Chains A and B, each alone.
Chain A
């Protein structure tokens, strides 16, 4: 089960990310990012983080990406054009990204044994639930950071309203 879920949704995530890279129109990129996010939600779930899976779908693909799509629709953004800046970015970007990937992959593969492996646990069929565990930690030990983030969101909302408002 775990392997099947990993292969299907891992492949879906990578394909979505590549599609984001190759599509010229921003709305296609946004939709492929939604695919990546939903498949990551399934992977979170298979890793026993069901609350995060739901939060990923609701917050990321349901709120943030809808907002992106909304802005693309509102600004009627067209296809992007290739410029001389993008040629320079190709020369630097692809080897750079490749180098980052090679480094990370090397580290993970050489430590592969120490990292161990995971199989599907009881969390898919209701045996264990980590929601209460998360909320206990969040509302006792990390109460202050939690409250600070709520202030941060408030500031962000005000900032967004001020920035996006039309000048009179």
Chain B
């Protein structure tokens, strides 16, 4: 098999790209659900750095971190989407510009 190596920094830069796209999407998007999805994207990018470092140091603790991040993300998604459903039920919109209940 052809043995090719990939520098670990490439994985980290890929994670950085994904993270910045997530940040950009978080700021630009106006739909509540899409904003929530860009948070998930950022979490995924961070997970990739964890896995890369775990591979680099030959330790499983990084992978266990990712495991916990996944579990917490699942809990967060459940509560977050429930909140979104509740908001939609009262406001009939998902546009974040119109959800300013605390302001008006």
A touches B (Cβ under 8 A): yes
A residues with a Cβ closer than 8 A to B are: 1-4, 6, 10, 13-14, 17-18, 20-21, 26, 29-30, 33, 36-37, 40, 43-44, 47-49, 51-52, 55-56, 59-60, 63-64, 67-68, 71-72, 74-75, 77, 80-86, 89-90, 92-94, 96-98, 100-101, 104-105, 108-109, 111-112, 115-120, 130, 133-134, 137-138, 142, 145, 149, 152-153, 155-157, 159-164, 166
Contact B66–A52 (Cβ < 8 Å): yes
CA distance in complex: A37, B94 (Å) = 24
Tell me the complex Cα distance, A149–B67, Å.
Answer: 11
A-B contact count (CB 8 A): 259
User: Which one of A13, A21, A160, A166 lies within 8 Å of B24 (CB-CB)?
Assistant: A21
Contact with A along B1-23 (1 / 0, CB 8 A): 11111111111111011111111
19 intermolecular pairs with C-beta atoms under 8 Å apart: A3-B6, A21-B24, A36-B41, A43-B51, A52-B47, A52-B51, A64-B73, A68-B37, A68-B81, A77-B33, A93-B23, A104-B13, A112-B7, A115-B7, A115-B12, A115-B56, A119-B6, A133-B60, A149-B72
- Which residues of the other chain, A, contact B40 by a CB distance below 8 angstroms? 33, 60, 64
Q: Is the CB of B63 within 8 A of A51?
A: yes
Specify the main secondary structure of chain B where it touches its partner.
helix
Which B residues contact A (CB, under 8 angstroms)? Answer: 1-14, 16-31, 33-34, 36-38, 40-41, 44, 47-48, 51-52, 54-56, 60-61, 63-64, 66-68, 70-79, 81-86, 88-89, 94-97
Q: Which residue of A lies closest to B17 (CB)?
A: A14
Contact A101 B8 (CB under 8 A): no
How far does the alpha carbon of A105 sit from the alpha carbon of B18 in the complex, in Å? 12
